[in-house]
């Protein structure tokens, strides 16, 4: 752990950004209250367990797009496992604090001082979004999470070392599914399933594992996520989710994102040949960057096989169906439906198998 800390501290210093040297969260000097910016403070508390290049480009990009350059505060990155984050007086200058602990798991991701300051901030009606994949494993007090974030219970590490998964916002932030992929140096996905008490509810779902790694208090003052949106695809869906979270927290000054609609006339799929005995090539066009699913059903609407289930960029693609079920056995002669789903839209073609 000591070697990791020294290496990452050196990298953080080498990549110090001049813009951030003049804004909240200077890497070399303490946070200056006179430099308060906007309504949101982002805390990059990774202690070497997050992105190697600082500031975190994903969060810098999404907050700049939503709030405007210089319209939010930034603290960090912290470079040691026992480094404190912003103090209470610093946080009290903001309506919302987004505090990301990334994958840090060896020592408590929140120091004793951090937990005390955060508790006092929330008790003073501060809004707080805590993100920490291994916060519980690291030793953060369950009583702290129960009291401040309404966590009733949890199942630790419902994924163990996964490289990717898919997330979807729920209830107030309901939206499309997006794909996320591991991109940190020291840890893959090991999030926890979180069960809220009566004063909170689930706010995000892992659709690959049918688990819920994020909760939101019913009064929309606090949220705790045991997973984040790293390396999201499509990025626009992640950005929309963050925008919706800021709206849930009633943050003002958010830029309106353009509505992205799928042009239905350009959502195309074709089987060639459409009547076949051994295989057919299915060509399809994706009009926008979106999650695409192509599935085969029999004439009674029963599921046969999934041919495609992943995010695509705009363009034309091909996939082959060899006339088999998921287990590899051959389907009988007859009419089959090939359904392509793109976001909220879909189209269907008929295919005929002749044995």
Evaluate whether 272 touches 281 at the Cβ level (below 8 Å): yes
pLDDT of residue 92: 93
Evaluate whether 16 touches 31 at the Cβ level (below 8 Å): no
CA dist., res. 333 & res. 320, Å (int): 18
Q: Is the pLDDT of residue 34 over 70?
A: no
What would you measure as the largest C-alpha separation in the chain, in angstroms? 77
pLDDT confidence bin for 290, thresholds 50/70/90: confident
Structure tokens at 125: 């009606």
Query: Is the bond leading into 77 cis (omega within 30 degrees of zero)?
Result: yes
Q: Domain 2-248 carries which CATH code?
A: 3.40.50.880
Query: Is the bond leading into 85 cis (omega within 30 degrees of zero)?
Result: no
Q: Which of 132-141, 145-154, 166-175, 199-208 has the lowest mean pLDDT?
A: 166-175
pLDDT tens-digit series, residues 304-323: 999 998 777 778 899 999 99
Cβ atoms < 10 Å from Cβ of 174? 12
Q: Is the pLDDT of residue 340 over 70?
A: yes
CA dist., res. 192 & res. 87, Å (int): 28
Task: Compute, in degrees rounded to 10, the torsion defined by CA atoms 324, 329, 333, 337.
Answer: -30
Evaluate whether 153 touches 212 at the Cβ level (below 8 Å): no
pLDDT tens-digit series, residues 206-228: 999 999 999 999 999 999 999 98
Degrees to nearest 5, angle at CA 45 with 44 and 46: 100
pLDDT of residue 289: 67
Q: Domain 264-353 carries which CATH code?
A: 2.60.40.1930
CA dist., res. 119 & res. 99, Å (int): 13
Domain limits of the chain? 2-248, 264-353
DSSP 3-state of 119? helix
Residue reference for tokens 């080498």: 14
Q: Check: pTM over 0.85? Answer yes or no.
A: no
Structure tokens at 217: 């208090």
Query: Pick the residue with more confidence: 133 or 22?
Result: 133
pLDDT of residue 160: 86
Q: Is the pLDDT of residue 46 over 80?
A: yes
Could you tell me which residues are beta bridge partners of residue 290?
A: 312
């Amino acid at each position: 752990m000591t070697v990791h800390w020294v290496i990452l501290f050196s990298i953080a210093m080498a990549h110090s950004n001049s813009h951030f040297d003049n804004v909240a969260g200077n890497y070399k000097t303490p946070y200056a209250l006179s430099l308060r910016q906007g309504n949101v403070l982002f805390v990059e508390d990774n202690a070497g367990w997050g992105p190697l290049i600082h500031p975190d480009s994903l969060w810098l990009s999404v907050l700049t797009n939503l709030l405007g350059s210089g319209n939010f505060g930034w603290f960090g990155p912290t470079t040691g496992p026992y480094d404190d984050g912003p103090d209470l007086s610093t946080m009290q200058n903001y309506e919302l604090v987004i505090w990301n602990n990334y994958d840090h798991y060896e020592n408590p991701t929140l120091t004793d001082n951090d937990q005390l300051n955060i508790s006092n901030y929330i008790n003073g009606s501060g809004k707080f979004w805590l993100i920490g994949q291994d916060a519980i494993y690291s030793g953060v007090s369950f009583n702290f999470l129960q009291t401040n974030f309404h966590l009733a219970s949890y199942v630790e590490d419902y994924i163990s070392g996964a490289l990717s998964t898919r997330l979807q916002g729920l209830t107030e932030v309901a939206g499309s599914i997006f794909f996320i992929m591991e991109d940190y140096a020291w840890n893959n996905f090991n999030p926890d399933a979180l069960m809220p008490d009566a004063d909170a509810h689930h706010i995000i779902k892992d659709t690959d594992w049918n688990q819920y790694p994020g909760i939101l208090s019913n009064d929309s003052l606090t949220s705790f996520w045991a997973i984040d949106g790293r390396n999201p695809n499509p990025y626009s869906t992640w950005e929309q989710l963050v925008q919706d979270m800021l709206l849930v927290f009633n943050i003002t000054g958010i830029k309106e994102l353009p509505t992205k609609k799928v042009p239905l006339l350009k959502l195309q799929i074709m089987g060639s040949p459409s009547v076949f005995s051994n295989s057919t090539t299915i060509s399809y066009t994706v009009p926008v960057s979106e999650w695409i699913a192509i599935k085969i059903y029999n004439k009674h609407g029963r599921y046969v096989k999934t041919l495609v289930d992943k995010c695509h960029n705009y363009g034309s693609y091909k996939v082959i169906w060899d006339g088999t079920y998921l287990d590899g056995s051959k389907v009988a002669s007859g009419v089959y439906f090939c359904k392509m789903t793109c976001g909220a839209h879909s189209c269907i073609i008929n295919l005929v198998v002749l044995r």
